[in-house]
Amino acid sequence: MVDRIEKVTRTEENSDDPGGPLVEKQTRQVHTETSADTKTTAQNLVWYLLGLIEVLLAFRFVLKLFGANTASPFVEFIYGVSGVLSAPFDSIFGVSSAKAGETQSVFEPSILVAAVVYALIAWGIVKLITINQKD
């Protein structure tokens, strides 16, 4: 948001003395603009996309860690969408799991690596967008 102050000067007759001298009155008018520039919009879009990716990866990590039921539609959706995001990192580390009854808990450190890599990529993109921007 940009604040702009404009100075307006106008000349009026003095209302106390109709035939008297003219009086200059100065008023200040503050105008605020809410339009964002293209670079700011692009930056915000990158950060929002990163937030969405990070939330999906966090859900995947927690659901795997607690051994969520894969027959649940929500769990199936999260695994399906976030699986595409974590796939490039799946073979980095071995996966350790523990089973208690029918629940199998899986710790996947590759999901954490994926979250960090996507955050670094987003940060780099935002820096490229603002490379010539003056503060």
CA dihedral defined by 31, 34, 37, 42, rounded to 10 degrees?
Answer: 160
* Residue 102 shares a structural domain with residue 81: yes
User: Residue 38: what pLDDT?
Assistant: 86
Same domain flag for 51 and 111: yes
- Indicate the pairing of strand 96-100 with strand 22-33: unpaired
17 and 64: one domain? no
pLDDT per position as a tens digit, 48-82: 999 999 999 999 999 999 989 989 999 999 999 99
Instruction: Tell me how far apart the alpha carbons of residues 45 and 62 are, in angstroms, rounded to a whole number.
Output: 26
Mention every residue, 6+ apart, whose C-beta is less than 8 A from residue 5. Answer: 28, 29, 30, 31
Domain tally, the chain = 2
Q: What is the pTM of this model?
A: 0.68
| Domain hosting residue 19, numbered range | 2-33
pLDDT, one tens digit per residue, over 81-92 is 999 999 999 888
Most confident region among 13-22, 33-42, 111-120 by mean pLDDT: 111-120
